[in-house]
Amino acid sequence: DTGVSQDPRHKITKRGQNVTFRCDPISEHNRLYWYRQTLGQGPEFLTYFQNEAQLEKSRLLSDRFSAERPKGSFSTLEIQRTEQGDSAMYLCASSLGGAQPQHFGDGTRLSIL
């Protein structure tokens, strides 16, 4: 049973650089979510896909953030012109349907130098 897979696990980059993260959901799950988590806080919702359609974006997601799920399978989250405040754990989750529990990946930890 393969769970949600995220790559890379860690990313260290200089301020101003662009970064891209990948998420592979559980294969039959059509719902995919991105969250961001900082130390001592719970995850905060960023965006949500149902199949390939991006149905909601949080106000936390500035113009520098973009997410795609081109074929309704894996998803990418890109951050352009990274800032210090972007340092966080970026978590991906998927679910079989809207009412089903969301299952999380191990996350990508982003550190901005």
Partner 1 sequence: GQNIDQPTEMTATEGAIVQINCTYQTSGFNGLFWYQQHAGEAPTFLSYNVLDGLEEKGRFSSFLSRSKGYSYLLLKELQMKDSASYLCAVRDMAGGATNKLIFGTGTLLAVQP
Residue numbers at the binding site for partner 1 (CB under 8 A): 4, 31, 33, 35, 40-45, 48, 50, 55-56, 58, 91, 95, 98-99, 101-107
Q: CA-to-CA distance for 110 and 8, rounded, in angstroms? A: 9
Nearer to partner 1, 4 or 112 (CB): 4
Instruction: State the nearest-atom distance from the C-beta of 81 to partner 1, in Å.
Output: 26
Q: CA-to-CA distance for 66 and 47, rounded, in angstroms? A: 9
Nearer to partner 1, 70 or 99 (CB): 99
Q: CA-to-CA distance for 26 and 111, rounded, in angstroms? A: 27
Please report how many Cα atoms fall inside a 13 Å half-sphere around the Cα of residue 60, on the Cβ side: 14
Instruction: State the nearest-atom distance from the C-beta of 38 to partner 1, in Å.
Output: 10
Q: What is the β-pairing status of strands 103-104 and 75-79?
A: unpaired
Instruction: State the nearest-atom distance from the C-beta of 67 to partner 1, in Å.
Output: 14
